[in-house]
Amino acid sequence: TVDRESGLLDYEEIRRLAKEIKPLILLAGYSAYPRLINFKKMKEIATEVGAVFMVDMAHFAGLVAGKVMSGDYDPVLHADVVTTTTHKTLRGPRGGMVLCTSEFADSVDKGCPLVIGGPLPHVIAAKAVAFTEALDESFPSYAQKIVDNARALAAYCQELGITVATGGTDNHLMLLDVRSFGINGRQGESALRECGITLNRNALPFDENGPWYTSGLRVGTPAVTTLGMGKEEMKEIASIIYLVLSHTKPAIITKGAKEGEESKARYVTDKSVQEEAKKRVQTLLDAYLLYPELDQSLLLKYVQ
């Protein structure tokens, strides 16, 4: 349901498929789509085919709470049922919520007690803190900065020659195509994590490498935004990503039936580049401490 050339959602194709399949539920949401969904259009399609319109906004709930996604792009205004986690962009503890219109309230109330475990007071308290923060007048600014940083990071990556799926982003994440570096997503993910950059491999639309090896990397900006980083830091992060990817190559298989071929799992990164990348990552983290009131050197003793 995305256009092969642009990578964007094809609403007319979604409408055609919905009319053909006639689903009971039309479900919208994403974990790796870097653009906005027009939930008003999706609701119209659901109404046309007599389907319940459900949205999973787990990944972008913080952007909804922060009013970055509004109007046609606000799922709460248009969906019959909305599910979400309380962590990710909402910055709370792990948990979930189901929101719905009054028409479905009885069904949700009957169904949820059957799958919910015992209450944990400390987690409930943490959710209360997260929701209070989300109601604060500063939260929309935080949500907008997430998007601003994501757009800046995507633009800097493109300037360095990294292909960004759909040509950019309108939310908190982006997909980087690593095929031009001669590696796959699994190798790129591991190489960057070894240098201190946490992200994950992710399939691109119509990805020939499949969901295990992939051709893409999913990168998000909520965590670095919470630390206080801005556009200049996004430029540095893009530079480190490019440095590592451009000095990583597949390892050569040394034995077995595929001896001499390139490995799809193992990789080799230039050691001097690894050291440089680690130092640059550490410099960023030293400037933006997660818990500045804690003794960082003491914490390191427990994680090393």
pLDDT tens-digit map of 185-206? 999 999 999 999 999 999 999 9
**Is 261 found in the same domain as 151?**
yes
Evaluate whether residue 3 is within a structural domain: no
Q: How confident is the model at residue 119 (pLDDT cuts 50, 70, 90)?
A: confident
Evaluate whether residue 6 is within a structural domain: no
**Is 126 found in the same domain as 98?**
yes
Evaluate whether residue 2 is within a structural domain: no
Contact 64, 90 (CB under 8 A): no
Average confidence (pLDDT) over 90-105: 94
Q: How far apart are CA 272 and CA 163, in angstroms?
A: 25
**Is 297 found in the same domain as 166?**
yes
Number of domains in the chain: 2
**Is 100 found in the same domain as 164?**
no
Contact 153, 174 (CB under 8 A): yes
Pick the last residue of a domain from 81, 112, 135: 135
- Model pLDDT for residues 9-46, shown as the tens digit of each residue: 999 999 999 999 999 999 999 999 999 999 999 999 99
**Is 161 found in the same domain as 272?**
yes
Evaluate whether residue 1 is within a structural domain: no
**Is 57 found in the same domain as 79?**
yes
114: pLDDT strictly greater than 70: no
Provide the phi-psi class of 232: left if phi over 0, else alpha when psi is between -120 and 50, else beta. Answer: alpha
Evaluate whether residue 291 is within a structural domain: yes
Evaluate whether residue 91 is within a structural domain: yes
Evaluate whether residue 263 is within a structural domain: yes
Evaluate whether residue 176 is within a structural domain: yes
Q: How confident is the model at residue 115 (pLDDT cuts 50, 70, 90)?
A: low
* Distances from the Cα of 49 to the Cα of 18, 26, 100, 107, 249, angstroms: 7, 9, 20, 21, 49
**Is 148 found in the same domain as 131?**
no
**Is 179 found in the same domain as 68?**
no
What is the reported pTM?
0.91
- Model pLDDT for residues 253-266, shown as the tens digit of each residue: 999 888 888 999 99
Laid out side by side, the sheet with 81-85 consists of 25-29, 52-56, 81-85, 96-100
**Is 193 found in the same domain as 108?**
no
Find the domain containing 203 and state its range.
144-303
CATH number of the domain encompassing residue 58:
3.40.640.10
**Is 112 found in the same domain as 165?**
no
Pick the last residue of a domain from 135, 163, 188: 135
**Is 113 found in the same domain as 56?**
yes
**Is 183 found in the same domain as 49?**
no
Pick the last residue of a domain from 82, 106, 135: 135
Other Cβ atoms less than 10 A from the Cβ of 137: the count is: 6
Q: How far apart are CA 209 and CA 279, in angstroms?
A: 32
Of the candidates 126, 114, 215, which has an alpha carbon nearest to the alpha carbon of residue 162?
Answer: 215
CATH number of the domain encompassing residue 285:
3.90.1150.10
Q: How far apart are CA 230 and CA 148, in angstroms?
A: 8
